[in-house]
Structure 1
Amino acid sequence: ISCLKNFSLLISCVLLFIIQPGRGSEIINGKEVKPHSLPYMAYLRTVTNSLCGGTLIHPQWVLTAVVLGAHSIRKEEKDSKQIREVEKLFPHPNYTRVTKGNDLMLVKLQEPATLTRTVKWLKLGKTIRDPAAGSTCLVAGWGRTETTRSSDVLKSVNVTVVDRQTCNCRDYYNHDPVITRDMICAGSDGTNVADTCQGDSGGPLLCDGALVGVTSFGRGCGVIKKPGVYSFVSRKQLKWIK
Protein backbone atom coordinates (compact mmCIF):
# COMPACT_ATOMS: atom_id res chain seq x y z
CA ILE A 1 0.00 0.00 0.00
CA SER A 2 1.92 3.09 1.06
CA CYS A 3 3.96 4.53 3.91
CA LEU A 4 3.43 7.44 6.22
CA LYS A 5 5.51 9.75 8.34
CA ASN A 6 5.20 13.38 9.28
CA PHE A 7 7.38 15.11 11.87
CA SER A 8 4.80 14.56 14.60
CA LEU A 9 3.14 11.45 13.18
CA LEU A 10 5.03 8.16 12.87
CA ILE A 11 3.31 5.07 11.52
CA SER A 12 5.08 1.78 10.85
CA CYS A 13 5.05 0.60 7.25
CA VAL A 14 4.87 -2.96 8.48
CA LEU A 15 1.67 -2.34 10.42
CA LEU A 16 0.06 -0.92 7.31
CA PHE A 17 1.28 -3.71 5.02
CA ILE A 18 3.11 -0.96 3.21
CA ILE A 19 6.50 -2.39 2.33
CA GLN A 20 6.18 -5.38 0.06
CA PRO A 21 8.59 -8.28 0.71
CA GLY A 22 11.29 -9.07 -1.79
CA ARG A 23 11.90 -5.59 -3.18
CA GLY A 24 14.89 -3.36 -2.74
CA SER A 25 14.70 0.40 -2.56
CA GLU A 26 15.92 1.58 -5.91
CA ILE A 27 15.21 3.49 -9.05
CA ILE A 28 17.42 1.23 -11.16
CA ASN A 29 19.49 2.89 -13.89
CA GLY A 30 17.60 6.14 -13.45
CA LYS A 31 18.81 9.71 -13.69
CA GLU A 32 18.20 12.83 -11.65
CA VAL A 33 15.16 14.75 -12.80
CA LYS A 34 15.22 18.47 -13.45
CA PRO A 35 14.48 20.00 -10.01
CA HIS A 36 10.72 20.34 -9.42
CA SER A 37 9.81 19.06 -12.89
CA LEU A 38 7.46 16.55 -11.20
CA PRO A 39 5.82 18.96 -8.72
CA TYR A 40 3.09 16.47 -7.71
CA MET A 41 5.63 14.02 -6.24
CA ALA A 42 5.56 13.44 -2.46
CA TYR A 43 7.77 11.43 -0.15
CA LEU A 44 7.85 10.26 3.44
CA ARG A 45 10.34 8.54 5.70
CA THR A 46 9.11 5.83 8.05
CA VAL A 47 10.19 4.95 11.57
CA THR A 48 12.44 2.27 10.09
CA ASN A 49 14.05 4.93 7.87
CA SER A 50 12.47 3.51 4.73
CA LEU A 51 11.23 5.79 1.98
CA CYS A 52 7.96 5.73 0.10
CA GLY A 53 6.63 7.89 -2.69
CA GLY A 54 3.25 9.36 -3.46
CA THR A 55 1.30 11.57 -5.84
CA LEU A 56 -0.59 14.74 -4.92
CA ILE A 57 -3.92 14.34 -6.76
CA HIS A 58 -5.85 17.17 -5.05
CA PRO A 59 -4.85 20.02 -2.68
CA GLN A 60 -5.85 17.86 0.28
CA TRP A 61 -5.45 14.32 -1.02
CA VAL A 62 -2.31 12.28 -1.69
CA LEU A 63 -2.21 8.82 -3.24
CA THR A 64 0.32 7.99 -0.48
CA ALA A 65 2.62 10.55 1.20
CA VAL A 66 3.08 13.95 2.85
CA VAL A 67 6.31 15.87 2.19
CA LEU A 68 5.63 18.00 -0.85
CA GLY A 69 7.73 20.19 -3.14
CA ALA A 70 11.00 18.37 -2.44
CA HIS A 71 13.85 17.69 -4.81
CA SER A 72 16.63 17.06 -2.31
CA ILE A 73 15.76 15.16 0.87
CA ARG A 74 18.70 16.44 2.91
CA LYS A 75 18.57 20.12 1.95
CA GLU A 76 16.06 22.25 3.83
CA GLU A 77 14.66 23.88 0.68
CA LYS A 78 12.46 26.17 2.78
CA ASP A 79 11.15 27.96 -0.31
CA SER A 80 9.95 24.77 -1.97
CA LYS A 81 8.99 22.14 0.63
CA GLN A 82 5.61 21.95 2.30
CA ILE A 83 4.96 19.63 5.23
CA ARG A 84 1.41 18.65 6.13
CA GLU A 85 -0.10 16.79 9.07
CA VAL A 86 -2.27 13.81 8.23
CA GLU A 87 -5.95 13.84 9.09
CA LYS A 88 -6.83 10.29 8.12
CA LEU A 89 -5.64 7.23 6.19
CA PHE A 90 -7.88 5.42 3.73
CA PRO A 91 -6.41 2.04 2.72
CA HIS A 92 -8.39 0.37 -0.04
CA PRO A 93 -11.14 -1.68 1.68
CA ASN A 94 -10.52 -4.66 -0.62
CA TYR A 95 -6.73 -4.82 -0.29
CA THR A 96 -5.55 -8.43 0.03
CA ARG A 97 -2.07 -9.12 1.35
CA VAL A 98 -1.75 -12.57 -0.25
CA THR A 99 -2.85 -11.69 -3.78
CA LYS A 100 -1.68 -8.05 -3.50
CA GLY A 101 -4.88 -6.86 -5.13
CA ASN A 102 -6.20 -3.29 -4.65
CA ASP A 103 -2.82 -2.16 -3.31
CA LEU A 104 -3.72 1.52 -2.87
CA MET A 105 -4.13 3.99 -0.04
CA LEU A 106 -5.30 7.59 0.13
CA VAL A 107 -3.97 10.08 2.67
CA LYS A 108 -6.13 13.05 3.64
CA LEU A 109 -4.10 16.07 4.75
CA GLN A 110 -5.31 18.28 7.61
CA GLU A 111 -4.55 21.40 5.58
CA PRO A 112 -4.60 21.63 1.78
CA ALA A 113 -1.32 22.03 -0.05
CA THR A 114 -0.63 25.46 -1.48
CA LEU A 115 -0.24 25.68 -5.25
CA THR A 116 3.28 26.96 -5.99
CA ARG A 117 6.01 26.56 -8.58
CA THR A 118 7.25 23.44 -6.78
CA VAL A 119 3.97 21.97 -5.53
CA LYS A 120 1.19 21.08 -7.96
CA TRP A 121 -1.37 18.31 -8.03
CA LEU A 122 -1.83 15.88 -10.86
CA LYS A 123 -5.47 15.88 -11.91
CA LEU A 124 -6.98 12.49 -12.59
CA GLY A 125 -8.92 11.94 -15.79
CA LYS A 126 -12.42 10.48 -15.94
CA THR A 127 -10.99 7.31 -17.48
CA ILE A 128 -7.45 5.97 -17.73
CA ARG A 129 -6.31 3.90 -20.68
CA ASP A 130 -4.77 0.52 -19.95
CA PRO A 131 -1.27 0.97 -21.41
CA ALA A 132 -0.44 -1.43 -24.24
CA ALA A 133 2.48 -3.84 -24.00
CA GLY A 134 5.63 -2.13 -25.24
CA SER A 135 4.49 1.31 -24.06
CA THR A 136 7.15 3.46 -22.43
CA CYS A 137 6.18 4.97 -19.07
CA LEU A 138 7.99 6.93 -16.36
CA VAL A 139 8.57 6.05 -12.71
CA ALA A 140 10.26 8.21 -10.07
CA GLY A 141 11.46 8.04 -6.49
CA TRP A 142 14.12 8.76 -3.88
CA GLY A 143 15.08 5.17 -3.02
CA ARG A 144 18.49 3.54 -3.17
CA THR A 145 20.17 3.41 -6.55
CA GLU A 146 22.13 0.55 -8.08
CA THR A 147 25.00 1.69 -5.80
CA THR A 148 22.77 0.47 -2.89
CA ARG A 149 22.75 3.97 -1.38
CA SER A 150 19.64 6.10 -1.11
CA SER A 151 19.40 8.97 -3.54
CA ASP A 152 19.26 12.43 -2.03
CA VAL A 153 17.59 13.80 -5.15
CA LEU A 154 14.51 12.66 -7.02
CA LYS A 155 15.35 10.24 -9.83
CA SER A 156 13.31 8.81 -12.67
CA VAL A 157 13.63 6.09 -15.27
CA ASN A 158 11.63 4.94 -18.27
CA VAL A 159 10.11 1.47 -17.97
CA THR A 160 8.48 -0.69 -20.62
CA VAL A 161 5.03 -2.23 -20.13
CA VAL A 162 5.00 -6.06 -20.25
CA ASP A 163 1.75 -7.81 -21.22
CA ARG A 164 -0.01 -9.71 -18.41
CA GLN A 165 0.16 -13.09 -20.14
CA THR A 166 3.94 -12.84 -20.35
CA CYS A 167 4.16 -11.53 -16.79
CA ASN A 168 2.24 -14.59 -15.57
CA CYS A 169 4.36 -17.11 -17.48
CA ARG A 170 6.78 -19.52 -15.84
CA ASP A 171 9.93 -17.46 -16.39
CA TYR A 172 8.30 -14.37 -14.91
CA TYR A 173 5.88 -14.51 -11.93
CA ASN A 174 4.41 -17.94 -12.72
CA HIS A 175 1.03 -16.91 -11.24
CA ASP A 176 2.67 -16.26 -7.84
CA PRO A 177 0.88 -13.98 -7.37
CA VAL A 178 -1.48 -13.87 -10.34
CA ILE A 179 -1.01 -10.69 -12.36
CA THR A 180 -4.59 -9.52 -12.82
CA ARG A 181 -6.25 -6.89 -14.99
CA ASP A 182 -5.97 -4.58 -11.98
CA MET A 183 -2.17 -4.70 -12.21
CA ILE A 184 0.41 -3.46 -14.71
CA CYS A 185 3.84 -5.04 -15.22
CA ALA A 186 6.59 -2.67 -16.35
CA GLY A 187 10.35 -2.83 -16.29
CA SER A 188 13.15 -3.70 -18.70
CA ASP A 189 12.72 -3.40 -22.45
CA GLY A 190 14.43 -6.79 -22.68
CA THR A 191 17.89 -5.33 -23.03
CA ASN A 192 18.32 -2.42 -20.65
CA VAL A 193 17.60 -2.76 -16.93
CA ALA A 194 15.02 -0.36 -15.48
CA ASP A 195 13.03 -0.84 -12.30
CA THR A 196 11.59 0.46 -9.03
CA CYS A 197 11.82 -1.15 -5.58
CA GLN A 198 10.59 -0.81 -1.97
CA GLY A 199 11.79 2.72 -1.49
CA ASP A 200 9.61 3.78 -4.38
CA SER A 201 6.44 2.04 -3.20
CA GLY A 202 3.38 4.23 -3.59
CA GLY A 203 4.98 6.39 -6.26
CA PRO A 204 3.42 7.03 -9.67
CA LEU A 205 3.59 5.14 -12.95
CA LEU A 206 3.11 7.87 -15.56
CA CYS A 207 2.22 7.05 -19.15
CA ASP A 208 1.95 9.98 -21.56
CA GLY A 209 1.93 12.25 -18.51
CA ALA A 210 -1.12 10.57 -16.94
CA LEU A 211 -1.16 8.71 -13.61
CA VAL A 212 -1.82 5.14 -14.70
CA GLY A 213 -0.45 3.09 -11.82
CA VAL A 214 1.01 3.09 -8.32
CA THR A 215 4.21 1.21 -7.45
CA SER A 216 3.17 -1.97 -5.65
CA PHE A 217 5.53 -4.96 -5.57
CA GLY A 218 8.10 -7.04 -7.39
CA ARG A 219 10.83 -9.62 -6.93
CA GLY A 220 14.42 -8.51 -6.71
CA CYS A 221 15.70 -5.30 -8.24
CA GLY A 222 16.46 -4.74 -11.89
CA VAL A 223 15.82 -8.37 -12.88
CA ILE A 224 14.79 -8.38 -16.54
CA LYS A 225 12.18 -11.15 -16.16
CA LYS A 226 10.85 -9.82 -12.85
CA PRO A 227 9.43 -6.41 -13.82
CA GLY A 228 7.87 -4.13 -11.24
CA VAL A 229 4.14 -4.57 -10.68
CA TYR A 230 1.90 -1.51 -10.34
CA SER A 231 -1.68 -1.13 -9.13
CA PHE A 232 -3.65 -0.03 -12.19
CA VAL A 233 -5.65 3.15 -11.56
CA SER A 234 -8.58 1.74 -13.51
CA ARG A 235 -12.10 3.11 -13.87
CA LYS A 236 -13.09 0.99 -10.86
CA GLN A 237 -10.27 2.46 -8.77
CA LEU A 238 -11.04 5.98 -9.93
CA LYS A 239 -14.57 5.52 -8.65
CA TRP A 240 -13.20 4.53 -5.21
CA ILE A 241 -10.68 7.40 -5.21
CA LYS A 242 -13.29 10.01 -6.10
Structure 2
Amino acid sequence: MILIHVLIMIAFIKVSLADDSVEPRIINGIPATVQETKHQVSIRIKQRDFPFGNGHICGGSLIGPNKVLTAAHCLYNNETKRYRRPNEFIVVLGTLNRFKRVNGTIVSHVSSIGYMKTFDMETMRDDIGLMFLKTGLPINKTHLTVAPIDMANTTTLNRTTCQISGWGKTEQDVLSTLLRTANVSIIGQDICSMVYGNALYKGMICAGRLAGGTDSCQGDSGGPLICNNTLVGVVSWGTGCAQPLSPGVYSDVQYYYKWIMKHNNASSNVFSMLYILIAGVLSIRTMI
Protein backbone atom coordinates (compact mmCIF):
# COMPACT_ATOMS: atom_id res chain seq x y z
CA MET A 1 0.00 0.00 0.00
CA ILE A 2 2.85 2.36 0.88
CA LEU A 3 4.62 1.53 -2.40
CA ILE A 4 1.45 2.30 -4.38
CA HIS A 5 1.16 5.64 -2.57
CA VAL A 6 4.80 6.45 -3.38
CA LEU A 7 4.28 5.56 -7.04
CA ILE A 8 1.22 7.80 -7.27
CA MET A 9 3.13 10.68 -5.68
CA ILE A 10 6.08 10.17 -8.03
CA ALA A 11 3.79 10.18 -11.06
CA PHE A 12 2.14 13.39 -9.87
CA ILE A 13 5.42 15.15 -9.17
CA LYS A 14 6.94 14.05 -12.50
CA VAL A 15 3.97 15.48 -14.39
CA SER A 16 4.12 18.75 -12.46
CA LEU A 17 7.86 19.06 -13.13
CA ALA A 18 7.76 17.91 -16.73
CA ASP A 19 8.45 21.36 -18.14
CA ASP A 20 11.20 22.21 -15.63
CA SER A 21 14.75 22.30 -16.91
CA VAL A 22 17.26 19.76 -15.66
CA GLU A 23 19.67 21.81 -13.55
CA PRO A 24 23.38 21.08 -13.02
CA ARG A 25 23.10 20.96 -9.45
CA ILE A 26 22.92 24.09 -0.56
CA ILE A 27 19.43 24.46 0.14
CA ASN A 28 18.64 24.64 3.89
CA GLY A 29 22.23 24.05 4.96
CA ILE A 30 24.30 25.39 7.83
CA PRO A 31 27.73 27.08 7.86
CA ALA A 32 30.55 24.55 7.49
CA THR A 33 33.50 24.08 9.82
CA VAL A 34 37.11 23.70 8.72
CA GLN A 35 37.51 20.29 10.34
CA GLU A 36 34.73 18.66 8.32
CA THR A 37 35.53 20.25 4.93
CA LYS A 38 39.33 20.34 4.54
CA HIS A 39 38.93 18.50 1.23
CA GLN A 40 36.55 21.09 -0.28
CA VAL A 41 37.85 23.30 -3.10
CA SER A 42 36.38 26.21 -5.04
CA ILE A 43 36.85 26.01 -8.82
CA ARG A 44 36.90 29.42 -10.46
CA ILE A 45 37.25 31.10 -13.83
CA LYS A 46 40.44 33.12 -13.52
CA GLN A 47 39.30 36.08 -15.63
CA ARG A 48 36.14 36.52 -13.55
CA ASP A 49 37.73 36.23 -10.11
CA PHE A 50 38.03 39.98 -9.50
CA PRO A 51 37.31 40.77 -6.79
CA PHE A 52 38.44 37.51 -5.21
CA GLY A 53 35.51 35.08 -4.96
CA ASN A 54 33.42 36.26 -7.92
CA GLY A 55 34.78 33.62 -10.28
CA HIS A 56 33.37 30.60 -8.45
CA ILE A 57 31.56 28.15 -10.74
CA CYS A 58 31.90 24.72 -9.11
CA GLY A 59 33.10 22.73 -6.17
CA GLY A 60 35.52 19.83 -6.04
CA SER A 61 37.32 17.52 -3.65
CA LEU A 62 41.05 17.19 -3.04
CA ILE A 63 41.89 13.48 -3.37
CA GLY A 64 45.68 13.74 -3.52
CA PRO A 65 48.40 16.34 -2.91
CA ASN A 66 47.70 18.01 -6.26
CA LYS A 67 44.65 16.16 -7.57
CA VAL A 68 41.03 17.34 -7.51
CA LEU A 69 37.95 15.30 -8.35
CA THR A 70 35.03 17.24 -9.81
CA ALA A 71 32.28 16.94 -12.44
CA ALA A 72 33.14 16.87 -16.13
CA HIS A 73 30.50 19.50 -16.86
CA CYS A 74 32.47 21.91 -14.65
CA LEU A 75 35.31 21.68 -17.16
CA TYR A 76 33.04 22.33 -20.15
CA ASN A 77 32.07 25.72 -21.56
CA ASN A 78 28.49 25.27 -22.71
CA GLU A 79 28.52 28.60 -24.57
CA THR A 80 31.47 27.72 -26.80
CA LYS A 81 30.72 23.97 -26.80
CA ARG A 82 34.27 23.05 -25.87
CA TYR A 83 36.28 22.13 -22.81
CA ARG A 84 38.04 25.03 -21.16
CA ARG A 85 41.82 25.20 -21.21
CA PRO A 86 43.55 24.51 -17.88
CA ASN A 87 44.91 28.06 -17.80
CA GLU A 88 41.35 29.42 -17.69
CA PHE A 89 40.91 28.03 -14.14
CA ILE A 90 42.17 28.70 -10.67
CA VAL A 91 41.42 26.45 -7.70
CA VAL A 92 41.13 27.79 -4.14
CA LEU A 93 41.68 25.55 -1.12
CA GLY A 94 41.52 26.19 2.62
CA THR A 95 38.88 28.88 3.01
CA LEU A 96 35.25 28.91 4.17
CA ASN A 97 34.42 32.43 2.95
CA ARG A 98 34.81 32.46 -0.82
CA PHE A 99 35.64 36.19 -0.78
CA LYS A 100 38.46 35.96 1.78
CA ARG A 101 42.00 34.65 1.79
CA VAL A 102 43.02 33.48 5.24
CA ASN A 103 46.17 32.04 6.75
CA GLY A 104 46.58 28.71 4.99
CA THR A 105 44.54 29.51 1.87
CA ILE A 106 46.08 28.01 -1.27
CA VAL A 107 45.37 29.53 -4.69
CA SER A 108 46.58 27.27 -7.47
CA HIS A 109 46.70 27.34 -11.24
CA VAL A 110 45.82 24.14 -13.09
CA SER A 111 48.40 22.19 -15.07
CA SER A 112 46.00 19.76 -16.77
CA ILE A 113 42.44 18.47 -16.72
CA GLY A 114 40.92 15.08 -17.41
CA TYR A 115 37.51 13.74 -18.40
CA MET A 116 36.08 10.63 -20.00
CA LYS A 117 35.55 10.84 -23.74
CA THR A 118 32.13 9.23 -23.17
CA PHE A 119 30.86 12.20 -21.12
CA ASP A 120 27.63 13.56 -22.59
CA MET A 121 26.53 17.09 -21.68
CA GLU A 122 22.94 16.33 -22.67
CA THR A 123 22.48 13.23 -20.52
CA MET A 124 25.24 13.97 -17.96
CA ARG A 125 26.45 10.40 -18.41
CA ASP A 126 30.01 9.82 -17.10
CA ASP A 127 30.03 13.24 -15.44
CA ILE A 128 33.40 12.84 -13.75
CA GLY A 129 36.47 15.04 -14.13
CA LEU A 130 39.97 15.59 -12.78
CA MET A 131 42.12 18.66 -12.27
CA PHE A 132 45.85 18.55 -11.55
CA LEU A 133 47.12 21.54 -9.58
CA LYS A 134 50.40 23.39 -10.09
CA THR A 135 50.47 24.28 -6.38
CA GLY A 136 49.38 21.37 -4.22
CA LEU A 137 50.01 20.25 -0.67
CA PRO A 138 53.61 19.87 0.51
CA ILE A 139 54.53 16.19 0.68
CA ASN A 140 54.69 14.68 4.20
CA LYS A 141 53.54 17.89 5.86
CA THR A 142 50.29 18.52 7.73
CA HIS A 143 48.24 21.52 6.63
CA LEU A 144 45.88 23.15 9.13
CA THR A 145 43.01 23.83 6.72
CA VAL A 146 43.57 21.54 3.71
CA ALA A 147 43.69 17.73 3.48
CA PRO A 148 42.80 15.10 0.87
CA ILE A 149 39.85 12.80 1.48
CA ASP A 150 39.67 9.06 0.91
CA MET A 151 37.41 7.77 -1.86
CA ALA A 152 34.82 5.02 -1.55
CA ASN A 153 35.63 1.82 -3.42
CA THR A 154 32.57 -0.16 -2.33
CA THR A 155 28.83 0.50 -2.54
CA THR A 156 27.33 2.66 0.20
CA LEU A 157 24.20 1.30 1.87
CA ASN A 158 20.80 2.86 1.19
CA ARG A 159 19.59 5.31 3.85
CA THR A 160 23.15 6.10 4.93
CA THR A 161 23.28 9.67 6.23
CA CYS A 162 25.79 11.72 4.25
CA GLN A 163 26.99 15.31 4.00
CA ILE A 164 26.96 17.66 1.02
CA SER A 165 28.79 20.99 0.95
CA GLY A 166 29.25 23.97 -1.33
CA TRP A 167 28.93 27.68 -2.02
CA GLY A 168 25.97 27.12 -4.35
CA LYS A 169 22.56 28.75 -4.37
CA THR A 170 20.70 28.87 -1.07
CA GLU A 171 16.97 29.10 -0.42
CA GLN A 172 17.38 32.84 -1.18
CA ASP A 173 18.40 31.86 -4.76
CA VAL A 174 21.86 33.45 -4.50
CA LEU A 175 25.33 31.94 -4.22
CA SER A 176 26.44 31.59 -0.62
CA THR A 177 29.30 33.68 0.74
CA LEU A 178 30.13 31.00 3.31
CA LEU A 179 30.67 27.31 2.63
CA ARG A 180 27.56 25.47 3.78
CA THR A 181 26.80 21.84 4.58
CA ALA A 182 23.64 19.77 4.83
CA ASN A 183 22.75 16.17 5.60
CA VAL A 184 21.08 13.96 3.01
CA SER A 185 20.48 10.21 2.72
CA ILE A 186 21.44 7.70 0.05
CA ILE A 187 18.29 6.77 -1.89
CA GLY A 188 17.97 3.29 -3.39
CA GLN A 189 18.39 2.81 -7.12
CA ASP A 190 14.88 1.34 -7.32
CA ILE A 191 13.27 4.53 -6.01
CA CYS A 192 15.65 6.75 -7.99
CA SER A 193 14.84 4.85 -11.20
CA MET A 194 11.12 5.34 -10.59
CA VAL A 195 11.73 9.09 -10.32
CA TYR A 196 14.10 9.61 -13.25
CA GLY A 197 13.41 6.61 -15.48
CA ASN A 198 15.72 6.34 -18.49
CA ALA A 199 17.58 9.50 -17.46
CA LEU A 200 19.42 7.47 -14.80
CA TYR A 201 22.52 5.75 -16.18
CA LYS A 202 25.11 3.43 -14.69
CA GLY A 203 27.50 5.45 -12.58
CA MET A 204 24.73 7.66 -11.16
CA ILE A 205 23.39 7.50 -7.60
CA CYS A 206 20.74 9.53 -5.81
CA ALA A 207 20.82 11.27 -2.45
CA GLY A 208 18.54 13.74 -0.74
CA ARG A 209 15.22 13.75 1.04
CA LEU A 210 12.13 12.46 -0.72
CA ALA A 211 10.10 15.12 1.07
CA GLY A 212 12.34 17.79 -0.47
CA GLY A 213 13.67 20.85 1.30
CA THR A 214 17.38 19.96 1.40
CA ASP A 215 19.56 19.55 -1.68
CA SER A 216 22.57 20.70 -3.65
CA CYS A 217 21.96 23.42 -6.25
CA GLN A 218 23.67 25.58 -8.91
CA GLY A 219 27.22 26.40 -7.84
CA ASP A 220 27.54 23.16 -5.87
CA SER A 221 28.27 21.09 -9.00
CA GLY A 222 31.40 18.97 -8.74
CA GLY A 223 31.32 19.12 -4.97
CA PRO A 224 31.42 16.20 -2.54
CA LEU A 225 28.90 13.76 -1.16
CA ILE A 226 30.61 12.44 1.98
CA CYS A 227 29.43 9.30 3.79
CA ASN A 228 31.28 7.84 6.78
CA ASN A 229 34.23 10.17 6.11
CA THR A 230 34.73 8.94 2.55
CA LEU A 231 33.96 10.57 -0.80
CA VAL A 232 30.99 8.65 -2.22
CA GLY A 233 29.60 10.99 -4.86
CA VAL A 234 30.20 14.08 -7.00
CA VAL A 235 27.36 16.60 -7.39
CA SER A 236 26.08 16.24 -10.96
CA TRP A 237 22.45 17.19 -11.71
CA GLY A 238 18.84 17.18 -10.60
CA THR A 239 15.35 18.46 -11.43
CA GLY A 240 15.18 21.85 -9.78
CA CYS A 241 16.66 22.13 -6.29
CA ALA A 242 15.18 20.57 -3.15
CA GLN A 243 11.94 19.62 -4.92
CA PRO A 244 9.78 16.85 -3.39
CA LEU A 245 10.52 13.40 -4.84
CA SER A 246 13.33 14.84 -6.97
CA PRO A 247 16.57 13.87 -5.22
CA GLY A 248 19.97 15.08 -6.33
CA VAL A 249 21.90 12.90 -8.75
CA TYR A 250 25.59 12.26 -8.11
CA SER A 251 28.37 10.57 -10.04
CA ASP A 252 29.16 7.36 -8.16
CA VAL A 253 32.81 7.47 -7.03
CA GLN A 254 33.13 3.72 -6.44
CA TYR A 255 31.85 3.07 -9.97
CA TYR A 256 34.61 5.27 -11.42
CA TYR A 257 37.23 4.35 -8.81
CA LYS A 258 39.53 2.40 -11.16
CA TRP A 259 39.43 5.14 -13.78
CA ILE A 260 40.26 7.76 -11.16
CA MET A 261 43.13 5.72 -9.72
CA LYS A 262 44.48 4.91 -13.17
CA HIS A 263 45.26 8.60 -13.60
CA ASN A 264 46.76 9.06 -10.16
CA ASN A 265 50.50 9.20 -10.82
CA ALA A 266 53.20 11.05 -12.69
CA SER A 267 53.17 8.63 -15.62
CA SER A 268 49.66 9.81 -16.51
CA ASN A 269 50.93 13.39 -16.65
CA VAL A 270 53.91 12.43 -18.80
CA PHE A 271 51.61 10.64 -21.24
CA SER A 272 49.36 13.67 -21.22
CA MET A 273 52.21 16.02 -22.12
CA LEU A 274 53.33 13.75 -24.96
CA TYR A 275 49.76 13.62 -26.24
CA ILE A 276 49.58 17.41 -26.01
CA LEU A 277 52.75 17.89 -28.05
CA ILE A 278 51.51 15.49 -30.71
CA ALA A 279 47.90 16.65 -30.85
CA GLY A 280 48.55 20.34 -30.29
CA VAL A 281 45.74 20.79 -27.80
CA LEU A 282 47.71 22.59 -25.10
CA SER A 283 47.33 20.66 -21.82
CA ILE A 284 43.76 19.45 -22.14
CA ARG A 285 43.53 15.66 -22.10
CA THR A 286 40.80 13.16 -22.78
CA MET A 287 41.19 10.11 -20.56
CA ILE A 288 39.83 6.69 -21.45
TM-score (norm 1): 0.80
Code of the residue aligned with 1:211 in structure 2: it is: L
Code of the residue aligned with 2:235 in structure 1: it is: T
- Is this contact kept in 1: 2:24–2:236, CA < 8 A? no
- Give the 3 Å change call, closer, same or farther, for CA 24–85 of structure 1 in structure 2: closer
Match of 2:150 among 118, 123, 127: 123
- Is this contact kept in 2: 1:60–1:111, CA < 8 A? yes
Q: Give me the identity figure in percent.
A: 34
- Is this contact kept in 2: 1:29–1:146, CA < 8 A? yes
Tell me, in whole angstroms, the C-alpha distance in 2 between the residues paired with 1:69 and 1:49: 16
Code of the residue aligned with 1:34 in structure 2: it is: T
Deviation at 1:80, TM superposition (A): 2.2
Q: CA RMSD in A?
A: 2.0
Match of 1:240 among 239, 259, 268: 259
SS in 1 for 2:197: coil
- Does 2:197 correspond to 1:197? no
Superposition pairs for residues 1-242 of structure 1, below 5 Å?
A: 22-23=22-23, 27-46=26-45, 47=48, 49=55, 51-64=57-70, 66-77=91-102, 79-114=103-138, 115-124=142-151, 128-169=153-194, 172-175=195-198, 177=199, 179-188=200-209, 190-191=210-211, 193-235=213-255, 237-242=256-261
Code of the residue aligned with 2:206 in structure 1: it is: C
Tell me, in whole angstroms, the C-alpha distance in 2 between the residues paired with 1:194 and 1:62: 25
Deviation at 1:50, TM superposition (A): 5.0
- Give the 3 Å change call, closer, same or farther, for CA 157–144 of structure 1 in structure 2: same
- Is this contact kept in 2: 1:187–1:224, CA < 8 A? no
CA deviation map 1:85-106 (0-9, x unaligned): 1101101232123332211110
Tell me, in whole angstroms, the C-alpha distance in 1 between the residues paired with 2:250 and 2:224: 9
CA deviation map 1:183-217 (0-9, x unaligned): 110111x3462100121000011111110110111
- Is this contact kept in 1: 2:42–2:60, CA < 8 A? yes
Tell me, in whole angstroms, the C-alpha distance in 2 between the residues paired with 1:159 and 1:45: 26
CA deviation map 1:81-132 (0-9, x unaligned): 101111011012321233322111100112322441001111335xx22222
**Which sections of structure 1, spanning at least 5 residues, go unmatched?**
1-20
Deviation at 1:151, TM superposition (A): 1.1
- Give the 3 Å change call, closer, same or farther, for CA 23–97 of structure 1 in structure 2: closer
Q: Which runs of 4+ in 1 moved over 6 A?
A: none
**Which sections of structure 2, spanning at least 5 residues, go unmatched?**
1-20, 49-53, 71-89, 262-288
Code of the residue aligned with 1:151 in structure 2: it is: S
Larger Rg: 2
Tell me, in whole angstroms, the C-alpha distance in 2 between the residues paired with 1:192 and 1:94: 31
Equivalenced residue count is 212
CA deviation map 1:52-73 (0-9, x unaligned): 1000000111113721101111
- Give the 3 Å change call, closer, same or farther, for CA 24–106 of structure 1 in structure 2: closer
- Give the 3 Å change call, closer, same or farther, for CA 216–208 of structure 1 in structure 2: same
Q: Which has the higher helix share?
A: 2
